[in-house]
Amino acid sequence: MLKDIITVDQLSLVISQAAAPAFLLGAVASFLSVLVSHMSRIIDRSRAIHAIADGDPMKAQLPVLRFRATLIIRAIHWAVGSGISTCILMIVAFITAYLGARLEPAAAVLFTLSLGLFTASLISFAREHRVALNQNELA
């Protein structure tokens, strides 16, 4: 049965428990900004290389740039997934407080999922950096 009104104590508890997911959401948003900036730089470099003559040896960098862009796109997708699961966690926290249900099982699953997706995004970003460093050594 639904409660008629959520108590101030329940609301206060949910808001205090939402602090960790809120910090994670802030980190994800900042990281997405970095990823989009990296993607813009890769696209700008790719456009500049496309504009040069066909016989130029710089054209050999295009496949590597395409691979780097793929890694950044994956990182962006993982980070967005992390942000979405964090938002769902916060929504579930308020719904369970309203219903008077236990939050712990759902919170554990959603927070673990969110951290896992964020970790996958960081790994993809690290792979892109490794490729970028190797590309600079060859140039």
The per-residue pLDDT for range 92-126, each reduced to its tens digit, is 888 887 787 787 888 889 999 999 999 999 999 99
For the chain of 139 residues, list the mean pLDDT of each consecutive stretch of 10: 60 74 92 96 93 86 94 98 94 82 86 96 96 75
Cβ burial of 15 (10 Å; 0-12, 13-18, 19+) is middle
pTM for the model: 0.84
* In contact, 39 and 89? CB cutoff 8 Å: no
Question: What tokens were used for 57?
Answer: 């040896």
Q: What is the pLDDT of residue 5?
A: 63
CA neighbours closer than 13 Å in the CB half-sphere of residue 75: 26
pLDDT given for residue 1 in this prediction: 42
**pLDDT at residue 4 in the model:** 55
Residue of 67, 68, 71 whose CA lies nearest to 124: 71
Compute CA distances 119 → 80, 105, 125, whole Å.
Answer: 12, 21, 10
How high is the pLDDT of residue 2? 45
